[in-house]
Amino acid sequence: MSTTASALHSEHEHHPYGWRRWLFSTNHKDIGTLYLLFALTMFFLGGLSAMAIRAELLYPGLQMLDPDLYNNILTNHALIMIFGAVMPAGAGIANWMIPLMIGAPDMALPRLNNLSFWILPAAAMMLVLSFIVPFFPGGGTQVNTGWTLYPPLSVQVGMSMDFLIFAIHLLGISSVLASINIIVTILNMRAPGMTMFKMPIFCWAWFVTAFLLILVVPIIAGGVTMLLFDRHFGTSFFNAAGGGDPVLFQHLFWFFGHPEVYILILPAIGALAQVIPAFSRKPLFGYKSTVGSMLVIATLGMVVWAHHQYTIGMSLGTVSYFMIGTILISIPVGLIIFNFIATMWRGAMTFETPMLFATAMVLLFSFGGLTGVMLAVIPADVQYHDSMFVVAHFHYVLIPGAIYGLFAAVFYWLPKWTGHMYDEKLAKIFFWVNMISFNITFFPQHFLGLAGMPRRIIDYNVIFAEFNFLSSVAGLIYGFSHLLFLYIIIKAIRGGQQAKNKVWEGATGLEWELPSPPPFHSWETAPKIK
């Protein structure tokens, strides 16, 4: 091979082009983009299942689904949205922004980064197979357990449950590998002079989230492995007839499931800690207390899991402990909200789309937290348990708390990612349609739950018809509004007004985000500290 050909071959090895660029990439920006595109695809798939649910509940009686298919769609909606959409979207933004924010040339473990992404499409394929396998001859029963997968029902479900178990394993492996990468990058690759308490809050949010993932994902992996053994190898971990305990699975699931809520929310809080100071033209109020609050949330979040299980027959002392612990979490969450409001206070605020989503998150997530405190109280929760009130609470926490935070981040950094400005007018229309239809969809569900309508039920009494009709119509508008979001992104990627170096004029840059000067962005040329 000639010297020139050898040089070209070497260059292509290090800088693959075409489809190889995406398949073999170890560049944090490319992998971040892959994560975001995957999350967007799964977001629409999960949204489609949500719209099918709301279309079925438009009127009393059975419209187009049977009970098993309804519960199958419900199960897939939850798992796709949580594991396929929100978590990969957060990981995509982390991949893009963390190295840039800490002055690192790339993630610490680039090949591991590539692997952690490419596990996701395999997991997504298994998730989809778990939905469609029952429709083929000999495919067995559908996964009608809900996303909690409680035995004994999950022990009896057919082959589709095995696909789901392996999908959860793959998703967990991907999450743990990505988390290791984030922790190693933050600990080892900060620019000289950037101490931990000079990092942007977004990096802190992901640092805490990564530790949470590493601690709790093995628990759900163990739980579903035990479930697999009960299904195929004659064990009785959860089979009461064989001396097992079905409630044990609930404990294993919720020991993962409750911290998972904070795994979804903390990256969004980190994004808000960048957006709100930028559009308030002020440094973040209470940097260290915000970091401390995130650490307290992560710690308390791991020890209050059984507030999802008040009705299983625990002792009074046990449920009292979980009630007090759950209510205590509202203190650090409230402190973060206070810091955000104090940052806005008397700031020179402007309300571009990222700030609109950030403001909506602060307001609506606070309301979701309020209903969470209601559900924490034992006598009240016994009444609310498994009702539509819980569905309303959950969506008021996760849609404003996680998805609105991600929307704020996407609109904030989209000019940086694409090099083009997005259409601000269309983005504001998207925000208002989305936010109003979200509230009309989920707010009436509080009343349905308080009036006694159970969740995960395909049919309902005619007395619930009006609120369900309202909720379904608004839900369909809410779902379709995301097509506008897709259009805005495609339009920005394809071209448009060139993004300036300082995209948001006075609201740009590290001067509003860090309590210190910005770091050097070249690892090799940065001056060494004696």
Domain boundaries, the chain: 34-513
Is residue 458 within 8 Å of 69, Cβ to Cβ?
no
122-156 tens-digit pLDDT? 999 999 999 999 888 877 888 989 899 999 999 98
Which band of pLDDT confidence, cut at 50, 70 and 90, is reported for residue 1?
A: very low
What's the confidence (pLDDT) of residue 296? 97
- Is the pLDDT score of 519 beyond 70? no
Kindly state the average pLDDT of the residues 205-225: 96
Which band of pLDDT confidence, cut at 50, 70 and 90, is reported for residue 500?
A: confident
What's the confidence (pLDDT) of residue 503? 81
354-413 tens-digit pLDDT? 999 999 999 999 999 999 999 999 999 999 999 999 999 999 999 999 999 999 999 999
Angstrom distance (rounded) from CA 163 to CA 504 = 46
What's the confidence (pLDDT) of residue 15? 66
Kindly state the average pLDDT of the residues 416-434: 94
Is residue 487 within 8 Å of 423, Cβ to Cβ?
no
Structure tokens that stand for 363 in this block: 């307001």
Kindly state the average pLDDT of the residues 412-418: 92
The 3 state secondary structure assigned to 161-186 is: HHHHHHHHHHHHHHHHHHHHHHHHHH
Which band of pLDDT confidence, cut at 50, 70 and 90, is reported for residue 14?
A: low
Kindly state the average pLDDT of the residues 230-244: 93
CA 440 to chain centre: 22
Mean pLDDT of the chain: 90
What's the confidence (pLDDT) of residue 509? 44
Kindly state the average pLDDT of the residues 202-221: 96
Angstrom distance (rounded) from CA 9 to CA 221 = 42
172-208 tens-digit pLDDT? 999 999 999 999 999 999 999 999 999 999 999 999 9
Is residue 430 within 8 Å of 478, Cβ to Cβ?
no
Count CB-CB contacts under 10 A for residue 216: 23
What's the confidence (pLDDT) of residue 139? 78
Fold of 34-513: Cytochrome C Oxidase; Chain A (1.20.210)
Is residue 237 within 8 Å of 230, Cβ to Cβ?
yes
Please give the C-alpha separations between residue 195 and each of 7, 108, 377, 412, in angstroms, as whole numbers: 39, 17, 41, 25
288-303 tens-digit pLDDT? 999 999 999 999 999 9
Share of the chain above pLDDT 70, in %: 92
What's the confidence (pLDDT) of residue 508? 42
Handedness of CA 65, 71, 75, 77 (dihedral sign): positive
Angstrom distance (rounded) from CA 349 to CA 371 = 29
What's the confidence (pLDDT) of residue 505? 62
What's the confidence (pLDDT) of residue 140? 81
Share of the chain above pLDDT 90, in %: 83
What's the confidence (pLDDT) of residue 498? 86
Kindly state the average pLDDT of the residues 229-240: 93
